[in-house]
Every structure is written in structure tokens, then in C-alpha cells.
A = this chain, B = another copy of it.
Amino acid sequence: MDTYLKPAHTDLPASPRPYPGPDQRPDPNHADCRGVASVLSRVGDKWSVFVIMMLSDGPRRFNELKRMINGISQRMLTLTLRGLERDGLVTRTIFPTIPPRVDYELTDLGRGLSRPVEALGKWAKEHLDQIEAARTRFDQRNEG
């Protein structure tokens, strides 16, 4: 039993069938799903989110980002930045100095994205404790 999480100590309904029949609400998406998924999975990547947040108050250089984002490997930072660049969210600027210097900066598009992303980060910070509490509660119910 390592592949699956244990089933929850499931809530039981007060009465057997709170709401009847099949649900006929419209399907909010269905076709959309596909294209949007590729955008969301960029945001979905936790490193992308961090990089965007780090860049939200101005350009940063490679190693600066690497130091700021505690725990990212050089490889992942490179990959993440390439992905963001490909999506038109950051620009890459080389200064042909010695030693070389490369700056990354959000584009207008990237700055636009950084708004909802920061909202998400803010929410995450604010509710981190609640979530961790929920996690330990869940784990205890399914172990102890």
C-alpha cells in the first residue's frame, strides 16, 4: 500500500439522498480543457510560480534567482526559464561582459500573469497552517 492513499474516514450523510436524480447542470468546460491545460500546467509547475514571483519586482540574473529559490537545481532553473521564455512570459537579455551576465525579466504578458499567481501565493501563505492541520488530521485518522 504505497501507491494509494488510504480511503478517508468518510463523512456519512444525515439522510440517504440529500439531492435527487442525476445532476443536469451544464458542463462548465469540455473542449476548453485541452488548450487551457497547457497553460495551467506551466503555472502548475511550482518552479515557474516561484520564478514569476521572484521576477515580479524587477529583473534578476540567473544566479540571483538560483539563490532566491531555495532548493532549485541549476538544471531546473534553466528549464523553467526556457519554458517561461518560450511562452512569452519572460525575456532573456545577455550582457556580453566578463564574466557574462544574463538578466531575466517579466514581459507585459508575464506581469499580467503574475497578478493571479501572486494572489495564489498569498492565499497559500495565509492558509498554510489550516492545510497542514488538515493533513495531520487526515493522516492520523487513516493510521492511528
Question: A-side interface residues toward B, CB under 8 Å?
Answer: 4-5, 7-8, 10-13, 16-19, 23, 25, 27-30, 32-37, 39-41, 43-46, 49-50, 53-54, 57-61, 64, 68-71, 78-79, 82-83, 85-89, 91-97, 102, 109, 112-113, 115-117, 119-125, 127-128, 130-135, 137-139
Number of copies: 2
- Beyond A116-B119, A116-B120, whether A28 also contacts B53 by CB under 8 A is yes
Whether A82 lies near B10 (C-beta < 8 A) is no
Q: Is the CB of A91 within 8 A of B11?
A: yes
The main secondary structure of chain A at its interface with chain B is helix
Docked complex Cα distance between A58 and B45 (Å): 27
Q: B128 touching A4 by the CB < 8 A rule?
A: no
What are 15 residue pairs bridging A and B, where the CB atoms are less than 8 Å apart in the complex?
Answer: A4-B79, A5-B86, A10-B102, A11-B92, A13-B94, A17-B95, A25-B57, A36-B124, A36-B125, A40-B46, A43-B120, A44-B45, A86-B135, A89-B134, A115-B123
Q: Which residues of chain B are within 8 angstroms of A91 by Cβ–Cβ distance?
A: 11
Residue of B nearest to A48 (CB): B44
Complex Cα spacing A109 to B124, Å: 11
Distance in Å from the Cβ of A17 to the closest Cβ of chain B? 6
A28, A64, A131 — most chain B CB neighbours (10 Å): A131
